[in-house]
Amino acid sequence: MKSRYDYIIVGAGTAGCVLAHRLSESGQYSVLLLEHGDDDRSWIIQMPAGLRSAFKPTSKYNYWFKTTPQRQLNNRAIDQPRGKVLGGSSSINGMTFLRGNPRDYDDWADIEGCTGWSFADCLPYFKKLERRDGPADDYRSHSGPVGVKTQQDLNPLNAAFLEAGQQAGHGLTDDVNGYVQEGVSRFEMSVEKGVRSSSARSYLHAQEKRANLDVVTGVKVLRVIVQNGRATGVELAKGRRIHRVQASREVVMSAGVFGTPQILMLSGIGPEKHLREHGIEVVHPAPMLGENLQDHLEAHIQVETDQPVSLNRYLKPHLMLWAGLQWFGWKGGVASINQCNVGAFLRTDADVTHPNIQFHFFPVFFGDNWIPNPSKNGYRLGAGPMRPESRGRVRLASANPMDAPLIDPNYLATERDWYEMRQGLKMGRELLSQPAFKDFHRREDLPGVNVRTDAQLDEFIRKDASSAFHPCGTARMGANGDERAVVDLNLKLRGIEGLRIVDASVIPAVPSANINACVYMIAEKAADLILGKTPLTPEFVLYHRAI
């Protein structure tokens, strides 16, 4: 690690790895990529079925944050895992690769005031990042860094889900990331040739080592250094030593929806009163930093079956051994794919503009903490609203950089969010009651046959609902004059030169899907903005509009 670079990127997550590759690929600029966590080249990360080993509180690859007690959820603290490793959350997530609805991005431009971020503006960057295992067309590409595929050979329960969805009156979508999102469909996964397509694998390890790019793990960024209104570098801890590294051009914050506002607040950037409460000198007031936190919440229907068709059957020791041999031998078998291969996007009401409910379907019977039960077979359906009205915030717990931030998503703060949660469970039950599931239904484990009325569903939601792990929005982008915005439409932090934010923090309104693909897209577009390149030409395509 040298003492000066052109660009310093704080956080080697989904966005940070993209930026490290793009900012260094010309060889013109020196780039430093800083990561608090460890290297990602472990089978636990690379094997898709290794998800459960990385996705647990004791994993060294996971921060495993908790929210503050949630008033609407029986004062439970809800798990908020985030990746602490090269690739960030793209190295520990469920690998479900979904863009969201095109209308989401048009709403960014038309409703949220984010000119230049419409679907036509974003589509060429979605295409730039993906290497789809399938044909290229106006919506899709097979030449990008991130390997993406659909699972064609479906488990019997997954096949039953697609059939049941059609029996319930929903359409079957051929490409959920293409012309039409609404309906039941195969979900794509960020997996290629049996290996997780993380940001680190796709943008760092797949490239030749570059003399102008330094990647340093195991470092804790303590603060951004600001002098005379300009970010000039960062202060960091490596072991017991404190270092200062200068940035000649820019410091780019890519520490994530929780890490980015925390580090900036520790740097004296944020809500003035809050900073003073923690004895932090105010360097620059940013009253909306940490606000606008959004997340997808979901509740679950789980059914036990007598048929040995769920993935639980692979938990027998000899089958686990065989699955491991298949993956380590030739990257094949059940360990080479993720666990959510099908799902749905549906509308609760005819007057809703585009799907507002998402189903994640898992051919797995889970016990506590999403640990598969080896003694039972069954399946689980997660259902939840895609565009919640509730907004929360991130705040400092203390001025100690090693303390986790205070995370308050403020779940289910509005009646509309409650209504959509209930409707999601009702629609999920209707789908799972179709003839396609008749032979696979022994008993409903969750919510249980005695939970029927709205009041009973509400009580179940309070006990069961959990995050779908899509937090975003804590450093919202917006147009000049938008008092809600922390960064401008070029993702520059307002009021400070040489400081930009590129991660899920800048999302103005959560997309109607898992958000990892969206963050990749933002980072690809941001790289062009940082380098002063003309953005890719907008691509205007038709997409399905419900109303």
Catalogue the active-site residues.
470
Residue type, 530: I
Give the residue carrying structure tokens 């690859």: 61
Q: How far apart are CA 30 and CA 442, in angstroms?
A: 61
Cite the DSSP H helix spans in 38-86.
Answer: 43-46, 51-54
Q: What is the 3-state secondary structure (H, E, C) of 376-443?
A: CEEEEEEEEECCCCCCEEEECCCCCCCCCCEEECCCCCCHHHHHHHHHHHHHHHHHHCCHHHHHHCCE
Q: Encoding tokens for residue 283? A: 């360097």
Q: Encoding tokens for residue 201? A: 């694998």
Maximum distance among all alpha carbons in the chain? Answer: 70
Q: How far apart are CA 543 and CA 127, in angstroms?
A: 16
Cβ(233)–Cβ(222) below 8 Å: no
Q: How many helices (H) and strands (E) does the chain have?
A: 13, 27
Give the residue carrying structure tokens 């399938």: 134
Cβ(386)–Cβ(427) below 8 Å: no
Distance spanning both ends of the chain, measured CA to CA = 54
For CA atoms 536, 540, 543, 545, give the dihedral sign.
positive
Phi, psi of 445 (to 5 degrees): -80, -45
Cβ(213)–Cβ(207) below 8 Å: no
Strands 96-97 and 406-408: unpaired
Cβ(144)–Cβ(127) below 8 Å: yes
For residue 447, whether the previous peptide bond is cis, meaning omega lies within 30 degrees of 0, is yes
Residue type, 231: A
Strands 31-35 and 213-217: parallel
In sequence order, what are the beta bridge partners of 501?
Answer: 253
Helix (H, G, I), strand (E, B) or coil at 221: strand
The CA radius of gyration of the chain, in Å to the nearest whole number, is 23
